[in-house]
Amino acid sequence: MLSDTSLPVIRATLPVVGENIQEIAKRFYQHMFDARPDLLDGLFNRGNQADGRQQQALAGSIAAFARYLVEKPDQLPDHLLSRVAHKHVSLGLSPDQYEIVHEHLFWAIVDVLGEAVTPEVAAAWDEVYWLMGNMLINQERGL
Ligand code: HEM
């Protein structure tokens, strides 16, 4: 669950992040594949990138996860992640790749939202990302 410090920050910024999450996801993938073209050919599916399906899947899952943490602060939404974990395992993802996604995703958040991303806001969304990331890494390890 989220810390007492991050919970109100996520609650307050969820609307603006939710409104912009498609654009954030689009810029995140562009930036990541510019830096790591090997991932586009080796891991991701070009067809799913071309029609924007993967952008929507990632954006939708982060927004849904954050909404759940805010609406049910005493629960962890394990069930929201099991389909993603199975997909990741079928592709042979490794835990260190979560750092790569983190780096480019947070670059995109700042690129889209600009000064709204105060250090406090960045820290709260960082917590959401790693809560999700670590839950996925754990589930994937167990599969
Ligand atoms: C917190 C971090 C992450 C979240 C929330 C997330 C979310 C998702 C979601 C929702 C899907 C779609 C699953 C489906 O088809 O049902 C997906 C697929 C996928 N994810 Fe992740 N993911 C994360 C981290 C990563 C990392 C670190 C990598 C590796 C660099 C990665 C690579 C992929 C790939 C290759 C697919 C399949 C995409 C395709 O079909 O082209 N993901 N992820």
H-only helix segments in the chain: 6-35, 37-42, 46-50, 53-71, 82-91, 97-113, 119-142
pLDDT tens digits for range 19-52: 999 999 999 999 999 999 999 887 888 887 778 8
Q: pLDDT tens for the chain, 143 residues: list them.
A: 899 999 999 999 999 999 999 999 999 999 999 999 999 887 888 887 778 888 888 888 998 999 999 999 999 888 889 999 999 999 999 999 999 999 999 999 999 999 999 999 999 999 999 999 999 999 999 99
What is the token pair recorded at 32?
């990541």
Lining residues, ligand 1, CB within 6 Å: 39, 43-45, 48, 54, 57-58, 61-62, 83-84, 87-88, 91, 93, 97-98, 100-101, 129, 132-133, 136
Domains recognised in the chain with CATH numbers = 6-142 (1.10.490.10)
